[in-house]
Amino acid sequence: MRDAVIRGGKASVLWLRERRRLERLLARIPVDGDRSRHSHRLLAPTATLSPWYDDEGFLATYEAVADHTLVDIYRCWDLWSALAQVAAVSGDVLEVGVWRGGTGALLAERSRWLGLDATVVLADTFRGVVGAGSEDPWYRGGEHSDTSVALVEDLLGRFPGISTLVAEGMFPDDTGDALADRSLRLVHIDVDVYDSAKATLEWAWPRLGVGGLVIFDDYGFYECEGVATLGAELMAAAGTALRGITSLNGHLTLVKLSDEPLPTC
Ligand SMILES: C[S@@+](CC[C@H](N)C(=O)[O-])C[C@H]1O[C@@H](n2cnc3c(N)ncnc32)[C@H](O)[C@@H]1O
């Protein structure tokens, strides 16, 4: 029974992917004028501000990565916007959880646009999710293994002038040491499960500049309960070290307020 439920859940995620593809196609058709492109009004009828449709650079980049990402346009816009917020913090950008490279390429292209002195480090096993445990009711390990370093590098090659580094292996166990000397301004954690998300955060926190951001994907998504659990623990322990800002779109953003150690949770 449990396996049947999990199989059903996975099938619905695949359906969601197709639905997003359809939404992107429909968004190009101005059925009742420009406002018809604002499809999020179906969820939040009075929230029609959609700056992502007015930013040509973002739209072109999103279109170029959309078939390489599981992340929707709203969260991609969050990432695009967040990099401008940390322009004054020095250091690199780290993404753990790359899959086919969509959000990583978007971050790298945005970094180039902003003229940041930053390498975007893209860390993934490229063999699927690892570290699933008791906090993660849905994941078993190995999900999202339908990718490769070559596939990601092919996507990155379509963006001349970006600065990226691909780190293949489990993070931080396999690849953390080689990256240990880097300072960071933004960390994007998109690993789906509790232990990997926590281990990534603990590794990144001392390297993150004050004012830097950690953005968790998967926050509040039904198949990623472990990330919501971690987020709740972090916000309960936050003290004066950090602020946690939640969003209904599936992002939890931590703002680093001081050089204090990461609160224990
Ligand atoms: C949902 S996908 C990432 C989606 C991607 N950001 C996008 O644009 O679609 C999750 C990824 O996390 C990776 N992953 C999970 N735990 C990891 C870990 N500890 N180290 C490296 N990669 C990990 C998996 O291999 C998988 O590719």
Q: What is the domain-level CATH number for residue 166?
A: 3.40.50.150
Check residue 45 and give its pLDDT: 61
Q: How far is the CA of 197 from the centre of ligand 1 (A)?
A: 10
Q: Hey, what's the torsion of the CAs at 242, 49, 41, 218, to 10 degrees?
A: -30
- Cβ–ligand 1 distance for 97 under 6 Å, the answer yes
- Cβ–ligand 1 distance for 191 under 6 Å, the answer yes
Check residue 10 and give its pLDDT: 65
Segments forming the whole domain that contains residue 11? 1-49
Phi, psi values for residue 162, rounded to 5°: -80, 160
| Separation of alpha carbons 113 and 75, rounded Å | 19
> What does the pLDDT profile of the chain (265 residues) look like in tens digits?
767 766 776 676 667 777 777 767 766 665 555 544 555 556 666 667 788 988 999 999 999 999 999 999 999 999 999 999 999 999 999 999 999 999 999 999 999 999 999 999 999 999 999 999 999 999 999 999 999 999 999 999 999 999 999 999 999 999 999 999 999 999 999 999 999 999 999 999 999 999 999 999 999 887 899 999 999 999 999 999 999 999 988 999 999 999 999 998 7
With respect to residue 87, please indicate whether it lies within any of the assigned structural domains. yes
Same domain, 247 and 156: yes
- Cβ–ligand 1 distance for 72 under 6 Å, the answer no
- Cβ–ligand 1 distance for 197 under 6 Å, the answer no
With respect to residue 261, please indicate whether it lies within any of the assigned structural domains. no
Secondary structure of 5-36 in HEC code, one letter for each residue:
HHHHHHHHHHHHHHHHHHHHHHHCCCECEHHH
DSSP state of 31: B
Check residue 105 and give its pLDDT: 98
- Cβ–ligand 1 distance for 129 under 6 Å, the answer yes
Q: Hey, which of 71, 99, 173 would you mutate to test ligand 1's pocket, going by the most ligand atoms within 8 Å of its Cβ?
A: 99
With respect to residue 214, please indicate whether it lies within any of the assigned structural domains. yes
DSSP state of 109: H
With respect to residue 64, please indicate whether it lies within any of the assigned structural domains. yes
Q: How many domains does the chain have?
A: 2
Whole-structure pTM value:
0.88
Same domain, 75 and 171: yes
Encode pLDDT of 171-224 as tens digits.
999 999 999 999 999 999 999 999 999 999 999 999 999 999 999 999 988 789
Ligand 1: atom nearest CA of 128 is 25
Q: How far is the CA of 161 from the centre of ligand 1 (A)?
A: 25
- Cβ–ligand 1 distance for 105 under 6 Å, the answer no
Check residue 182 and give its pLDDT: 98
Same domain, 148 and 193: yes
Q: Hey, which of 191, 203, 217 would you mutate to test ligand 1's pocket, going by the most ligand atoms within 8 Å of its Cβ?
A: 191
Check residue 35 and give its pLDDT: 47
Q: Can you give the length of the chain in residues?
A: 265
In single-letter form, the type of residue at position 221 comes to F
In single-letter form, the type of residue at position 219 comes to Y
- Cβ–ligand 1 distance for 184 under 6 Å, the answer no
With respect to residue 264, please indicate whether it lies within any of the assigned structural domains. no
Is residue 88 within 8 Å of 136, Cβ to Cβ?
A: no
Check residue 222 and give its pLDDT: 79
- Non-local (6+) Cβ contacts of 2 within 8 A are none
Give, in order, the Cα–Cα distances in Å from 66 to each of 70, 75, 96, 225, 236.
8, 12, 18, 25, 35
Same domain, 26 and 64: no
Check residue 43 and give its pLDDT: 60
Same domain, 72 and 151: yes
Q: Hey, which of 61, 62, 69, 129 would you mutate to test ligand 1's pocket, going by the most ligand atoms within 8 Å of its Cβ?
A: 129
Same domain, 165 and 42: no
Same domain, 129 and 218: yes
Same domain, 105 and 189: yes
